[in-house]
Structure 1
Amino acid sequence: MASSIDGLTHSHVFLGEDHERNEKKVWLVIALTTAMMVAEIVAGTIFGSMALTADGWHMSTHAGAMLIAALAYMYARRNAANPRYTFGTGKLGDLGGFASAIVLALVALFIAAESLARLANPVAIDFDQAIFVAAIGLAVNLLSAWLLRDDHDHHHGHGGHHGHHGSHAHHGDHAHGGHHDHASGSDNNLRAAYMHVLADALTSVLAIAALILGRLYGWNALDPIMGIVGGVVIARWSWTLLRDTARVLLDAQPDGGDLSARIRKLMETPDDTVMDLHVWQVGPGHNAAIVSVATTAAHAPAFYKEKLRAIDGLSHVTVEVTPLG
């Protein structure tokens, strides 16, 4: 009996396939950004360069944003098996991504506001020094972007459902199955960190272009105009990240409802009708489903759960069977 009960148990750890690797990447970028920040602030103070000092403090805001992602990874990993989290800590990365998106929106607002102020009240620009600082910032951001790049295609999967496939039935006939799929899902926490790096790289590219043209042709107004353009683009990135992470946090249907449609197609027959269906994401590459079936046939919950093995990415399945007639 004990072995039979053991066969029914399953894990509720729904972290992304590359969780630990991505966590290490973010900590590495934090170290790189912090080192550059300290170097710029110290050099700016020693040599009296306000541009270097200001860029150093600017980098501190990005290090802080990266820290949100790193702490989300660490907390999710340490509490992955904590029974207080019924469906694991897989969505903590989306919570971190949502917070980072808000910070990104504030950065976009600050850049746009500062650029408008500069446009209304122009200031003298030390072009050579400003170009040098922007070039340093771009180099650091390109290196950080390379470190944070995602080596996996988010749309491919490694077939197979690894885990426990037991089922149990009682009054109401509930069945729980662990269809553990290792398909790479979108890691919004890493995506948020990557967007912060891209945002800083974009502002550096726009600044370098504006400063070079300003130095050559005296178009000083181009610098704040480029800042406004950069702020608008970053705000757009922030909105898409907010939208995508909010959908996960609010348990919206994955894939716009396509997964639900696939489940219904597999489950429904002349004898079986899906009466209630809930599908949501519990972590990168992991989805959960609760299916209520009304049937005129004498099928056990395990029969329906076996059908769902054909769908990748279902890591936690509950089936309720209601006999008719």
Structure 2
Amino acid sequence: MPGTVHLSPRHDHVFLGAAHAENERRTWIVIALTATMMVAEIVAGTIFGSMALVADGWHMSTHAAALAIAAFAYRFARRHARDPRFSFGTGKLGDLAAFASALVLALVALFIGWESVMRLVQPVPIVFGQAIAVAVLGLAVNLASAWLLREGHDHAHGQSHAHGHAPHAQGHDDHHHHHDDAGHGHHHHAQAGRDNNLRAAYLHVLADAFTSVLAIVALVGGSLYGWIWLDPMMGIVGALVIAHWSFGLLRASGAVLLDTVPDRSLAEGIAARLAADGVEVADLHLWQVGPGHCSAIVSVVATDPKPPAAYKALLSGLPMLSHVTVEVNPPVAVA
């Protein structure tokens, strides 16, 4: 059919994040740390008859479960990256995992908030010395875990990722450019380049560390000044902050799952480059197919049409534009 661009020869659709394997490895290490601490707290609490220890241990189990979701998502995405059942690869699986993880985070916030309100209404006796020791130990484990995941997050933003596809001649191509030739850099494209799966794991660890800090403050205040109410009040503060993080993660991962435009400046850049060549952009679809990878389908109208490859060449160098399909149409005559 005239004006229709046919698909190119078969090629890969691997759109995993820049440091996928490294982030997967870090997540498994953090799971090991969290699970060890969780088991230690539950066992010690049972032996020494401390409900606070047992409760904190089970609280950590929810974070361990969320971290497991992240780790298995990395593993599944890697193993099935070239599975033809997935039209655009498995790059978005991390966002699905992040969405599920954000729901777990919301439940954790709800549980902490409810428990805190109950303790305000009916205060429970606190063994301050033991509780402070546990909180400090938990904080140390969480800070080590947060450092591991944060370093992975920074590493992911500092790398580019290329798969080395050969150019295709029929208007369907894969580009792997992560540096803006106009000098905008990563700053303007942080949202589309973010690994939400790693962010979810990081927020779970951070939430645990944050609650540990609040607990230490509350316990020290309670032991020094007898402010028993400070412990549940800090719990409510922690619940509100964690709920806020959860909502942010739900929005970010949900936006990717719903194929919202990941970067307006990238969409504008595509339209501007094509318009500068004298063609009209009739239709433009831009969505994220993985961390740092965007796909575009562009339909252009040209009085003097060129091969699709020429229009693809105009778009080369745009950051994160990894997969491009171009459709060229002649102008429609108006009767």
TM-score norm. by structure 1 comes to 0.91
Shift of 1:77: 0.8
Q: Which residue of 2 aligns with 1:164?
A: 166
CA spacing shift, 1:249–1:227, aligned 2, 3 Å: same
Shift of 1:258: 1.6
Shift of 1:179: 0.3
Shift of 1:41: 1.8
Q: Which residue of 1 aligns with 2:54?
A: 53
Q: Which residue of 2 aligns with 1:17?
A: 18
- Choose the corresponding residue for 1:239, options 232, 247, 255: 247
Q: Which residue of 2 aligns with 1:3?
A: none
Separation (CA, whole Å) in 1 of partners of 2:289 and 2:278: 31
Separation (CA, whole Å) in 2 of partners of 1:159 and 1:54: 43
SS of structure 2 residue aligned to 1:254: coil
CA spacing shift, 1:155–1:262, aligned 2, 3 Å: farther
SS of structure 2 residue aligned to 1:280: strand
In structure 2, give the amino acid aligned to 1:179. Answer: H
Separation (CA, whole Å) in 1 of partners of 2:37 and 2:158: 36
Separation (CA, whole Å) in 2 of partners of 1:270 and 1:36: 61
SS of structure 2 residue aligned to 1:318: strand
Mapping 1:63-78, distance limit 5 Å: 63-78=64-79
Tell whether the 8 Å contact from 1:271 to 1:297 is kept in structure 2 after alignment: no
Which whole-Å deviations, capped at 9, do the CAs of 1:131-155 have from their partners, x for residues lacking one?
A: 1111111111011111111443776
RMSD: 1.9
Shift of 1:107: 0.5
Tell whether the 8 Å contact from 2:18 to 2:156 is kept in structure 1 after alignment: no
Q: Which residue of 1 aligns with 2:306?
A: 299
Q: Which residue of 1 aligns with 2:291?
A: 284
Say whether residues 1:225 and 2:233 are aligned partners.
yes
Separation (CA, whole Å) in 1 of partners of 2:238 and 2:129: 21
In structure 2, give the amino acid aligned to 1:180. Answer: H
Mapping 1:35-50, distance limit 5 Å: 35-50=36-51
- The aligned length equals 312
SS of structure 2 residue aligned to 1:111: helix
CA spacing shift, 1:296–1:57, aligned 2, 3 Å: same
Say whether residues 1:131 and 2:127 are aligned partners.
no
Which shows bigger deviation, 239-248 or 52-61? 52-61
In structure 2, give the amino acid aligned to 1:222. Answer: L
Shift of 1:313: 0.9
Shift of 1:158: 4.2
Q: Which residue of 2 aligns with 1:176?
A: 172
SS of structure 2 residue aligned to 1:181: coil
Tell whether the 8 Å contact from 2:27 to 2:70 is kept in structure 1 after alignment: yes
Separation (CA, whole Å) in 2 of partners of 1:153 and 1:71: 20
Tell whether the 8 Å contact from 2:92 to 2:290 is kept in structure 1 after alignment: yes
SS of structure 2 residue aligned to 1:293: strand
In structure 1, give the amino acid aligned to 2:149. Answer: L
SS of structure 2 residue aligned to 1:89: coil
Tell whether the 8 Å contact from 2:289 to 2:295 is kept in structure 1 after alignment: yes
Separation (CA, whole Å) in 1 of partners of 2:138 and 2:224: 22
Separation (CA, whole Å) in 2 of partners of 1:188 and 1:300: 37
SS of structure 2 residue aligned to 1:22: helix
Q: Which residue of 1 aligns with 2:220?
A: 212
Which whole-Å deviations, capped at 9, do the CAs of 1:231-269 have from their partners, x for residues lacking one?
A: 0000000011000001100000012x2211110000014
CA spacing shift, 1:205–1:94, aligned 2, 3 Å: same
Q: Which residue of 2 aligns with 1:275?
A: 282
Separation (CA, whole Å) in 1 of partners of 2:73 and 2:157: 24
- Choose the corresponding residue for 2:210, options 199, 202, 205: 202
In structure 1, give the amino acid aligned to 2:91. Answer: G
Q: Which residue of 2 aligns with 1:114?
A: 115
In structure 2, give the amino acid aligned to 1:123. Answer: V
Identical counterparts, % of pairs:
61
Which whole-Å deviations, capped at 9, do the CAs of 1:283-308 have from their partners, x for residues lacking one?
A: 00100000000001131101100000
Which whole-Å deviations, capped at 9, do the CAs of 1:40-83 have from their partners, x for residues lacking one?
A: 22222222222222222221111111111011111111110000
Separation (CA, whole Å) in 2 of partners of 1:271 and 1:22: 44
CA spacing shift, 1:161–1:21, aligned 2, 3 Å: closer
CA spacing shift, 1:312–1:270, aligned 2, 3 Å: closer
In structure 2, give the amino acid aligned to 1:271. Answer: G
Tell whether the 8 Å contact from 2:18 to 2:161 is kept in structure 1 after alignment: no
Q: Unpaired runs of 5+ in structure 1?
A: 1-6, 169-174
Shift of 1:157: 6.5
Q: Which residue of 2 aligns with 1:172?
A: none
SS of structure 1 residue aligned to 2:316: helix
Separation (CA, whole Å) in 1 of partners of 2:135 and 2:255: 36
